[in-house]
Amino acid sequence: MSIHEECGVFGIFSKHPQNVAAVCYYGLYALQHRGQESCGMVVNDRGVFSSHKDLGLVSEVFSPEVLSDFPEGSMAVGHVRYGTTGGSSRKNCQPIEVNHQKGKMALAHNGNLSNAAELRNRLELSGAIFHTTSDTETIAYIVTRERLSAPSIEEAVSLAMHTLEGAYSLCLMSSAKMIAVRDPYGFRPLCYGVLEDGTYIVASESCAITTVGGTVIRDLLPGEILVFTKDGILSRTEHCKTRPNRLCVFEYIYFARPDSVIDGISVHSARIQAGQILARQHPVSADVVVGVPDSGLDAALGYSQQSGIPYGIGLIKNKYIGRTFISPGQTQRQNSVKIKLSPVEAVVRGKNVVLVDDSIVRGTTSERLIRLLRDAGAARIHLRISAPPFLNPCYYGTDIDSREHLIATSMDPDGIARSIGADSLGFFPLDQLSALAGGHGYCSACFDGQYPTPIPSDTRKDRFEARLPL
Amino acid sequence: MSIHEECGVFGIFSKHPQNVAAVCYYGLYALQHRGQESCGMVVNDRGVFSSHKDLGLVSEVFSPEVLSDFPEGSMAVGHVRYGTTGGSSRKNCQPIEVNHQKGKMALAHNGNLSNAAELRNRLELSGAIFHTTSDTETIAYIVTRERLSAPSIEEAVSLAMHTLEGAYSLCLMSSAKMIAVRDPYGFRPLCYGVLEDGTYIVASESCAITTVGGTVIRDLLPGEILVFTKDGILSRTEHCKTRPNRLCVFEYIYFARPDSVIDGISVHSARIQAGQILARQHPVSADVVVGVPDSGLDAALGYSQQSGIPYGIGLIKNKYIGRTFISPGQTQRQNSVKIKLSPVEAVVRGKNVVLVDDSIVRGTTSERLIRLLRDAGAARIHLRISAPPFLNPCYYGTDIDSREHLIATSMDPDGIARSIGADSLGFFPLDQLSALAGGHGYCSACFDGQYPTPIPSDTRKDRFEARLPL
Amino acid sequence: MSIHEECGVFGIFSKHPQNVAAVCYYGLYALQHRGQESCGMVVNDRGVFSSHKDLGLVSEVFSPEVLSDFPEGSMAVGHVRYGTTGGSSRKNCQPIEVNHQKGKMALAHNGNLSNAAELRNRLELSGAIFHTTSDTETIAYIVTRERLSAPSIEEAVSLAMHTLEGAYSLCLMSSAKMIAVRDPYGFRPLCYGVLEDGTYIVASESCAITTVGGTVIRDLLPGEILVFTKDGILSRTEHCKTRPNRLCVFEYIYFARPDSVIDGISVHSARIQAGQILARQHPVSADVVVGVPDSGLDAALGYSQQSGIPYGIGLIKNKYIGRTFISPGQTQRQNSVKIKLSPVEAVVRGKNVVLVDDSIVRGTTSERLIRLLRDAGAARIHLRISAPPFLNPCYYGTDIDSREHLIATSMDPDGIARSIGADSLGFFPLDQLSALAGGHGYCSACFDGQYPTPIPSDTRKDRFEARLPL
Amino acid sequence: MSIHEECGVFGIFSKHPQNVAAVCYYGLYALQHRGQESCGMVVNDRGVFSSHKDLGLVSEVFSPEVLSDFPEGSMAVGHVRYGTTGGSSRKNCQPIEVNHQKGKMALAHNGNLSNAAELRNRLELSGAIFHTTSDTETIAYIVTRERLSAPSIEEAVSLAMHTLEGAYSLCLMSSAKMIAVRDPYGFRPLCYGVLEDGTYIVASESCAITTVGGTVIRDLLPGEILVFTKDGILSRTEHCKTRPNRLCVFEYIYFARPDSVIDGISVHSARIQAGQILARQHPVSADVVVGVPDSGLDAALGYSQQSGIPYGIGLIKNKYIGRTFISPGQTQRQNSVKIKLSPVEAVVRGKNVVLVDDSIVRGTTSERLIRLLRDAGAARIHLRISAPPFLNPCYYGTDIDSREHLIATSMDPDGIARSIGADSLGFFPLDQLSALAGGHGYCSACFDGQYPTPIPSDTRKDRFEARLPL
């Protein structure tokens, strides 16, 4: 629960002016799980950009007044960003908007560059100044510098891709064009679709396309550049197949919504399968399989299907807990997990329970959950995790806790089980991750340390700063 | 989805001053599902009342600043209230606070009086003025008038109960005492428990007691008056057994949280059983059973258990949809159900689906859900409802749509199925409701018209005004 | 500066529906100086009342959204209330709205009853409950109780006036009538006027009538009841001349706006005259006369005219200081008077200054002001106060500091001058107050202790609680 | 009233950490009249910058929570900016913060570059991207580019000044230094002072220094660079005397606060003198001189002193009118001037009035004011304006209405008088402006078209877009 995705992007390209802000708003709602810190939207009305960005959820930032202030337009780009707090981070809200020598650009980005520090240094040496601390501004600089001599924005993007290293799924907009880009490794998902009236949609996940009533066409290929213009869609593939496919496997396990399909694989099905593999790898005799809402439910059902142990709805999530939940009172802190999750005694009392969750970071959340179930009368609790143990930082856009806080770096599964009070503990087997990804390449560096790109020698502190798990 | 509970109440009584506001805040969070329009809290610090009430969710009304402004105290009473909108309704927020000849009183109420109009008229004739349109003010008047001659507040409450008719679960507080009352029919739930330090908790549902770390002692008996004082708890039972038990059966089906236990019956278990009964009553050949989140999930699992048809997680609820969700753009309105619920294609495509929901009101929501599943590729859709058809208004605190909007008043199940596009439709059998209530008496007047009390001849418009279903 | 008026009232009565909320909004803006804690408005649209009330300034409470939510109507009643802070006082916002046996009433009140405690006790003994701590609710009760047997609302008002003692300027509204009432002493001002289209306006001060584009007709007579109906205006005078005129003389000195005319006397002219009298009574040789903005400016000009000493604009008020001004940092507290008022060195450096202010309460504000002028180079500072010394509490709606904090109760003028650092100090002579009031009767009990009514033996603490001066 | 100053800047440099945010907050309060659209502050705590910026007044943007979130620090830079509305302008809030190759910089700017468009174009050609539309970002770029090779930030500033043309009073901050800069013409004021503990203050106007309890040391020389470091203050004068002094004369007439002293001249005294000159130039026989609050009061007093006609306080300004004032209702629009200003009938009825205001832009406000006074009974109204007629746009930071809306471009004074209903009209004589500026050079291009710098051939639309006068 303390693993964070960095972002989600959304774009819309229509041939006629319409309420693109409304469509974008719905799309961002559907991508909200990819980032809850801030969100933003830029609408393009015949070359005039109108924007609104702020800290907060989509429902908070886009009030009826704000939405009705947007003009009609033919394009919009939107973004959701994940979650630290603090007044000064408003400037990191996206999409980023810049004016450059050839015009305007709005840019929304999901991912992290692995050579960001080096690129930034080179830019600063040539006189660049930075308003934000995000990689997105670096990308904007490099694209606009290429644009000084490149004949078109898409050519500038393609040239820039020779310099950018790491994870970037982009949706950007000039006065007249919208461009979607997925990095050659394909670290982060990106797909596009179409509405009934021919309007094109670009989104980090397919669930956003279906939510706005569209039909998914396909995922972008790793390395592909899609250019949306009045004349249609142009696909540029010069960067495709220059690198191996390395989709983040944790998208299937945790980040993505179960109703999304990524690179041809249903997220729901991948999780069901993860549960089935877990059941085969770590069988146990028990009375009921309980998933930790929301992301552990599918894997729990898969475990139940494979093992024949009945599926139970044994934990209830308080659906009113929002970003704003606070813990008043020092002595009340331990209550906070009770506020968020409640056990159903009728399901667990006197039972041997298989508890399925998606990950263990520091172990504290798991420990509290197990205590909660024991207080509700569970006899034995067998914890099954639908991912391998976290052992390494991610340089491609996932905010994993610092290595010294990762419980799996200092204990083996039995030690962890004792530490958190579980009767047994089983992780998803590293060597079967390929089954989740349906055969295509994937990145599992956070589990196995096999980084597809060179990694920065001077790890910037701010990306790996410790974050408190729940 | 357009059936609303009117309220939830919460009370805390401690022998020493402590941060009762924090405990009450957690408790109201756990009861939020019983009312999302407004909430409030009154803290009693040695006879000085501090209060805060407003429209909005608990998380919105009780900001850190507001919570930290409350003093420590030995008692608090809190309330959540359900959801119409409109500036003028702020005055109906609870708990109500009044000053009377013998002191102060704060009062939180769940339910509706069936003789409210008559009582109000009598009070007005004797010079009473009303600031609100809620029954709670009527109850406050009657209790305080009895208090003029009664030797104690609990005696005044007992005397008032001879006059009050209908549903009332109350938690009230004078300078020195907290009193919990459940009406003689026991229409609405009310229970109490205790924290480790001996602090007593009163709550509409047991989930609020466990959430704050307490142990449930028991439900109040219908008609019971519990008086919490420095010297302990006094139970007065003179009104017990004067009327038959008539707990609202819809508490089991929809209102209450599945982790609550009401009058000895686990809500979760009642719903599992409802699904099992449905499967026996309305069997069908299908590939998967899908529940409508959140309240249809348990019944769906019960249906699956009984029928042997696999349980599937085929609908995903967007957990970021709050009270503030808006539908910008006329042509987008039909999208709103898509924003809230998304089908998982991998679960339903090409499948014959048993869809389990808790109720049908106007039929429009069911119709949209069915269309959503068909668009996602479902072959056949068999709708099963874990309640009988709604046919009558409720006078005891449930906000059911007006009779002319209830689809079941004008069509039989087959007609409804055709109207909403289902391949088949089955309701929970009226004659088996007793199975849910575990043998004790219950009220099912909204289904069968058998009202336990006389009903008002002149139905007040404002209680039965039409409300739009989702 | 720590003397507070309790309230201002405003009413509008039109023969046809119109945007009465907008007119009321403008009127309340013009009366804002009479109360900055809270404000409210009730619009009457053919018997349906819509209201909005909250803590805050008119500009804060009545946002464009709130105003546009009001329907058109034929009547509205509004209120501004003065300023303590605290969450719980929202319930004391006015106008008060009640439902009673004969219908609805909205009531706005300026003043304080001197027999409030006694009346409240009598009402409570007969079963009344109170939601607020304001006298307004007491008045509402008495009027509505009389209404039970009285044939009309105006008859009920007249009957109630036999019971009410003290200060009350009222504007109230039933379904079909608006009624304006001024108590028989005429403690607080109340006048009415007419717009070009025949719409009638009632207001605490004439400035509100001219602000909304109306023509002032006249002040209400002390004791007069004006009834506005579809058929015209009815004046009832049965309570007139039953008591001597006792207009609060401090309305001329401080409370009212200089562009208002009260009981035939221009407030501006009264203040000019106060300055002239001060100059005759306490002459001094000096270079410049400087008034303390805003209320001391007129008296300073009068002093200058009489004495021949040039008038100077030597203190500038920061016009952006609002209710929300905060003083961050402990050591910064002494700066707050500098933030609010700045000396103009070019006017005061090396000069002997006559400084004219309207009152001294605790003396701390005067002391800081004098230090401010000395720091700016003033040679000698002669303080002249356009009111006599405060020595007594007020029971009629003025919030004067508690007696032990009033500096004049413990020192003579020379002692005060030494204490606050003035070179000399002169107060307005008590025996010439009649000159300000233009010959009609007035109340000066806060200066001389001559209360026109019996005063409560058991002074309620909350009315005289200490308030910090600036 | 429709002439806007662009900004005010404030800086604080202390040798030890303290609550610099609180001091800056007070200083910005004192400069609020120079800009009401937005404000911001950056605090420097040992090289770590914390900032908060937003649309709104100082009192709105800096809530107690926001202020208390700032750490202690040794430096802070603050800014107020004037007032258009619109969501997208949040990005133009200042101080601007940038990261560059040599570190961080925060920059606050008052003024406008006259070669901004040219500089921006040159920068874009070299690959610069712009996040804002303000000149401030251009200055930041040029300074940081010079910094790439310059040995210090102050050297970079000095080098940049060879490129920058136009008006710029700057306060900027690096990790270790604060730098104040005034352009060689000295278009905009800038001064510095010291607190008792040796902390240095930089401010657009001296009133901000005295408000925070400091002593003014002196104005910066036109062209001067002041460098504040741990070792003291360094003054660099290499750009001094490279250009003639051209202080904006309208600072004396309207922009600055009367308690400020600019380039040795008291603003109050300059206005008194303006009134005296007006009285000699445009004498008239009348009964009373009335100033339009707030900026016309001093000149009115000067007119009175010179002419011997008594000074009167004949217009009252509603002090509660804020940025948020709205005009509900179409037919009410003409009331808005009445809401803001009210005539005192006792002063003007039957009188011949000299009305003194600071400027006429479109003439509509003057027309309404004159009608207001006539409605209040004024016999004759002689309007005297303490500035010459506006005829030209300003390229140095004053937002004057577009030329086609300036009434003086199409009519002579007699024509204007007839158009707005005045009995006579007199402007301040152009040839006596030097008397106001006390002999030093000044810019009066808006009156006479004598621009000190080359002016842009391609006038950017957004700077001269029409703005509605009140």
Question: Which pLDDT tens digit goes with each residue over C347-386?
Answer: 999 999 999 999 998 898 899 999 999 999 999 999 999 9
- CA-based torsion, A332, A334, A336, A339: positive or negative: negative
Nearest residue of A to residue D90 by CA position? A52
Which residue ranges of D make up the annotated binding site?
248, 295, 357-358, 394, 443, 446
3-state secondary structure of A332: helix
Give the ipTM.
Answer: 0.90
Residue D179 in tokens:
């730098």
Q: What does the longest C-alpha to C-alpha distance in chain C come to?
A: 72
**Using CA atoms, how far apart are residues A19 and A62, in angstroms rounded to an integer?**
14
Cite the active site residues of B.
7
Each residue's pLDDT tens digit, A381-438 = 999 999 999 999 899 988 777 788 899 999 999 999 999 999 999 999 999 999 998 8
B350 versus C404: the higher-pLDDT residue is: B350
Cis amide bond preceding B298, omega within 30: no
For residue B52, CA distances in Å to A84, A295, B202, C180, D71 come to 30, 36, 19, 33, 31
Q: Is the pLDDT of residue B466 over 50?
A: no
Would you say residue B325 has pLDDT above 70? no
**Binding site members of B for [4Fe-4S] cluster:** 248, 394, 443, 446
Residue C105 has pLDDT above 90, yes or no: yes
Separation CA D181–CA D224 (nearest Å): 6
Asked if the Cβ–Cβ distance from B145 to C127 is below 8 Å, we say: yes
Considering only the top CATH level, what class is D262-319+337-443? alpha beta
Tens of pLDDT, residues C273-311: 999 999 999 999 999 999 999 889 999 999 999 999 999
Which alpha helices (H) appear in C284-363, and where do they start and end?
297-307, 336-340, 345-348
The CA distance from B78 to B99, in Å, is 18
What are the helix (H) ranges across A126-266? Answer: 135-149, 153-161, 206-211, 250
Tens of pLDDT along B142-176?
999 999 999 999 999 999 999 999 999 999 999 99
- Residues C268, D344: C-beta atoms closer than 8 Å: yes
Q: Domain C4-243 maps to which CATH number in 3.30.1360.70, 3.30.9.100, 3.30.70.270, 3.60.20.10?
A: 3.60.20.10
pLDDT of residue C460: 40
Write out the catalytic residue numbers of C: 7
What ranges do the domains of chain A cover? 4-243, 267-318+339-433
Number of CB pairs < 8 Å for B and C? 77
Give the whole-angstrom CA distance, residue D62 versus residue C339.
Answer: 15
pLDDT in tens, A55-96: 888 988 998 889 999 999 999 999 999 844 334 467 788 999
Token representation of residue A465: 């700063």
What's the mean pLDDT when you consider all of chain C?
90
Distance CA A130, CA B353 (A): 55
Are C133 and B99 a contacting pair at CB < 8 A? yes
CB spacing of D131 vs A133 below 8 angstroms: no
Contact B211 A342 (CB under 8 A): yes
pLDDT value, residue D87: 40
Asked if residues A77 and A95 have their Cβ atoms less than 8 Å apart, the reply is yes
- Beta strand extents in A46-174 (DSSP E only): 48-55, 73-81, 96-100, 103-110, 169-173
pLDDT at C465: 32
Residue C39 among known ligand-binding residues: no
Q: What is the CATH class of A267-318+339-433?
A: alpha beta
Both tokens of residue D23?
A: 């001091």
Strand partners, C400: none
More reliable by pLDDT, A333 or A112: A112
What sign does the dihedral C173-C174-C178-C183 (CA atoms) show? negative
Q: Are strands C288-291 and C311-312 parallel, antiparallel or unpaired?
A: parallel
* Catalytic status, residue A240: no
pLDDT above 60 (res A335):
no
Nearest CA in chain B to A316: B259
How many helices, marked H, and strands, marked E, lie in chain A? 17, 26
Task: From C155, C125, C123, C150, select the one nearest C139 (Cα to Cα).
Answer: C123
Average pLDDT over residues B287-297: 95
Interchain contact, C301 vs D313, CB within 8 Å: yes
Name every chain D residue with its beta carbon within 8 A of the beta carbon of A56.
none
Answer yes or no: do B144 and C129 touch at CB < 8 A: yes
Per-residue model confidence (pLDDT) at position A133: 84
Q: What is the phi/psi pair of residue C70, to 5°?
A: -70, 140
CA distance D380 to D9: 43
* For testing contact with chain A, the best of B316, B321, B371 (most A CBs within 10 A): B316
Structure tokens at C248: 């609060």
What confidence tens digit (pLDDT) does each residue in B56-93 have? Answer: 889 889 988 899 999 999 999 999 998 543 344 677 88
User: Which residue in the set C301, C319, C328 is minimally distant from D19, CB to CB?
Assistant: C328
- Contacts for A289 with CB less than 8 Å, ≥ 6 apart: A300, A301, A303, A304, A307, A309, A310, A311, A312, A353, A354, A356
Kindly state the helix (H) or strand (E) to which residue B159 belongs, with its residue range: helix B153-160
Instruction: Determine, for residues A30 and B311 on separate chains, whether the beta-carbon distance falls below 8 Å.
Output: no
Residues of chain C in contact with residue B126, where contact means CB-CB under 8 angstroms, are 127
* Closest C-alpha among B298, B260, B292, B262 to residue B277: B298
Give the pLDDT confidence of B230-280 residue by residue, as tens digits.
Answer: 999 999 999 999 999 999 999 999 999 999 999 999 999 999 999 999 999
**Chain D residues in contact with C29 (beta carbon < 8 A):** 318, 320-321, 325, 339
Calpha distance C256→D224 (Å, rounded): 51
Q: How far apart are CA A29 and CA A80, in angstroms?
A: 9
φ, ψ (nearest 5 deg) of residue D170:
-120, 150
What is the structure's pLDDT at A6? 72
- pLDDT for B99-137, tens place per residue? 998 999 999 999 999 999 999 999 999 889 999 888 999
Q: Best of A41, A101, A132 to disrupt the D interface by mutation (most D CBs within 10 Å)?
A: A101
B267-317+336-439 — its CATH code?
Answer: 3.40.50.2020
* Confidence at residue D337, expressed as pLDDT on a 0 to 100 scale: 66
Helices B364-375 and B413-420: crossing angle in degrees, nearest 10, is: 50
Average pLDDT over residues A226-248: 96
pLDDT tens column, B440-463: 899 999 999 999 999 876 544 333
Provide mean pLDDT across the span B186-209: 97
* pLDDT of C403: 82
Q: Exposure pattern of A218-237 as b/e (b: 16+ CB <10 Å)?
A: ebbbbbbbbbbeeeeeeebe
How close, in Å, is residue B259 to chain A by CA atoms? 4
Q: What pLDDT, on the 0 to 100 scale, is given for residue A464? A: 33
Query: Residue for token digits 């306490």?
Result: C282
Answer whether the bond into residue B95 is a cis peptide, omega within 30°: yes
Please identify which residue in the block is written with the tokens 């903005």: C293
**Lowest mean per-residue pLDDT among A273-287, C418-432, D319-333, D384-398:** D319-333
Q: Is B208 left (phi over 0), alpha (psi -120 to 50) or beta?
A: alpha
Categorise residue A184: left if φ over 0, alpha if ψ from -120 to 50, beta otherwise. Answer: alpha
Least confident range of B82-96, B283-297, C157-171, C443-457: B82-96
DSSP state, C253?
I
Percent of chain A with pLDDT over 70: 91
Distance from CA of C338 to the nearest CA of B (A): 29
Closest chain D residue to C312, measured at CA: D301
> Model confidence at C335, in pLDDT bands (50, 70, 90)?
low
| Residue D399: predicted pLDDT | 79
Whole-number Å distance between alpha carbons of A26 and A32: 10
Is A306 in contact with A275 (CB distance < 8 Å)? yes
Of A69, A127, A144, Cβ closest to residue D145: A127
**Could you tell me how far CA D200 lies from the centroid of its own chain?**
22
Give mean pLDDT in consecutive 10-residue pieces for chain D, a chain of 470 residues.
72 96 95 92 96 90 90 97 56 90 94 93 91 91 95 97 96 97 97 96 97 96 97 96 95 95 96 98 98 94 98 92 55 61 96 96 92 96 97 87 86 96 98 90 95 75 32
Q: Please, which residues have CB within 8 angstroms of residue A315's CB and are 6 or more apart in sequence?
A: A290, A291, A292, A293, A341, A342, A343, A344, A369, A373
Residue type, B467: R
pLDDT of residue C84: 43
Sheet holding B311-312, edge to edge: B311-312, B288-291, B352-357, B380-385, B424-427
Radius of gyration for the alpha carbons in chain C, expressed in angstroms and rounded: 23
> Is a pLDDT exceeding 50 seen at residue A466?
no
Domain C268-318+336-432 CATH class label:
alpha beta
CB C201 within 8 A of CB C225: no
Both tokens of B132, joined, read 């609100």
Please tell me which of the candidates C98, C133, C148 has its beta carbon nearest to residue B131.
C98
- Determine, for residues B129 and C148 on separate chains, whether the beta-carbon distance falls below 8 Å: no
Residue contact D128–A100, C-beta within 8 A: yes
A240 φ, ψ (degrees, to nearest 5): -70, 150
State the nearest Cα–Cα gap between B407 and chain C, in angstroms. Answer: 32
Give the closest of D266, D305, D347 to C345, CB-based: D266
pLDDT digits (tens, 9 = 90+) for A196-229: 999 999 999 999 999 999 999 999 999 999 999 9
Buried b (16+ CB within 10 A) or exposed e, A396-428: bbbbbbeeebbbbeebebeebbebbbbbbbbbb
Interface of C with B (CB under 8 A): 50-52, 66, 69, 87-88, 91, 96-101, 121, 124-131, 133, 140-141, 144-145, 148
Mean pLDDT, residues C106-130 taken together: 93
For the stretch D10-35, pLDDT in tens is: 999 999 999 999 999 999 999 999 99
